[in-house]
Amino acid sequence: MKLFRSVALLAATLATIAPDAALASDNRPAKATFGAMTLGSSQESQPIGFYAKGCQAGAVQLPYDGPNWQVMRLERNRRWGQPQMISFIQQFSRDAAARDGWPGLLIGDISQPRGGPMVNGHASHQIGLDADIWLSPMPRQRLTGQQREQLSAVSMLKKGEYLTIDNRNWSEGQARLIMRAASYPQVQRVFVNPAIKKKLCETWTGDRSFMGKVRPIGGHDSHFHVRLYCPPGVANCKAQPEIQPGDGCGKDLAAWFAPRPARKPTSPMKPPPKPRVMTVGDLPPACQSVLASSSKRGDDNMGLPYAPLASADSSVGTPITTLAAYQEKLTPQPSAATAAMPADPAAVATAADPAPQSPAAATWVSLPDKVPLPRQRPGH
């Protein structure tokens, strides 16, 4: 009986994978192929594969402006995610503004229109369930397209010192923002620089039950990275193992700060082996149908006041040298741009919400008068 069941199971498994196996020899380079897709697929939404090896079907575009967010680096076209991620960002931005006084989120990369590996920037972000959020608060005014390309996120680390927080840039605001992100049940991990994790471990006095979700990782000193769980019931989405219980403030974190043994110098004569180029066939077979699918409807600009890049020059005025120039007063107030947003609740779930009226909003945000603009864009 047991044997029969196994044979039947094997036969059923073979029947499901056999048609896909024939497609597995798709030798197109995965990065270039997915990078060339400009619109999402007209399929049912679904994350496919693993965060660092997969793609996404039926992705949704995050509008580039919302009441409490602005998307940066629009030219990259990486504001596509699964509906769960898009609504998470909307909810998170609203909660952070209303409950923590954070004026708004500057959103970095989510995923490409059909997910997949990227030509530059990330190992993960492939299935529409990862998003990067800047640690710099959103300016009150709407940024032009050019500013969204050129402004850089401000690092929370001291320049030239090993994993040390720069208290001129770090404030309780960033701490609240990260811990707020970790508090949502659909969030599995929040990646931050080890120095930031250490700071939170040492200073956070609120609810610590979500501290374990905040994971130390290299980089991530000017933005943090939110990863959602695979949505329940999506068999194609490969879950990441649960994190260990505990706050993660112990020895794993300490390892980042331990003196490292000197590395043996590698021989300059021996170049490292060239990594094999990942092909579409290396990804889950369903990603080939994602690539083959017809495109979704075009951009959802929704008439928002976004200055196109071509005309950005004339509208910029004084060149931007510091993010701080935009801070003025950080008390969240509806800008003219926000007020002019369409009140179509289906288009932007949060558009009709009243502006947050938190009296304590501006009291804790301590930004320096001058924030230097780093030359390097935030790596990831």
Binding interface with Zn ion (CB under 5 A) = 132, 225, 380
Kindly state the smallest distance separating residue 147's Cβ from Zn ion, in Å: 22
Separation between Cα atoms, residue 361 and residue 211, nearest integer Å: 24
- Residue 221 DSSP code: S
Residue number, nearest CB to Zn ion: 225
Q: What would the two tokens of residue 245 be?
A: 């219980």
DSSP 3-state assignment of 364? coil
Kindly state the smallest distance separating residue 59's Cβ from Zn ion, in Å: 16
Separation between Cα atoms, residue 93 and residue 66, nearest integer Å: 9
Closer residue to Zn ion (CB): 43 or 174: 174
Closer residue to Zn ion (CB): 67 or 81: 81
Contact 157, 193 (CB under 8 A): yes
Closer residue to Zn ion (CB): 65 or 132: 132
Separation between Cα atoms, residue 243 and residue 263, nearest integer Å: 30
User: 305-312: long-range contacts (C-beta < 8 A, 24 or more apart)?
Assistant: 305/65, 305/142, 305/337, 305/340, 306/64, 306/65, 306/74, 306/142, 306/144, 306/145, 307/144, 307/145, 307/146, 308/145, 309/75, 309/145, 309/146, 309/149, 312/144, 312/145, 312/146, 312/147
Closer residue to Zn ion (CB): 100 or 132: 132
Radius of gyration of the chain (CA): 22
Closer residue to Zn ion (CB): 189 or 225: 225
Kindly state the smallest distance separating residue 108's Cβ from Zn ion, in Å: 7
Kindly state the smallest distance separating residue 121's Cβ from Zn ion, in Å: 8
Closer residue to Zn ion (CB): 122 or 140: 122
Neighbour count for residue 294 (Cβ, 10 Å): 8
Kindly state the smallest distance separating residue 362's Cβ from Zn ion, in Å: 29
Contact 121, 109 (CB under 8 A): yes
Closer residue to Zn ion (CB): 197 or 380: 380
Kindly state the smallest distance separating residue 109's Cβ from Zn ion, in Å: 6
* 215 membership: H or E segment, kind and range: strand 214-216
Separation between Cα atoms, residue 294 and residue 162, nearest integer Å: 49
Kindly state the smallest distance separating residue 273's Cβ from Zn ion, in Å: 27
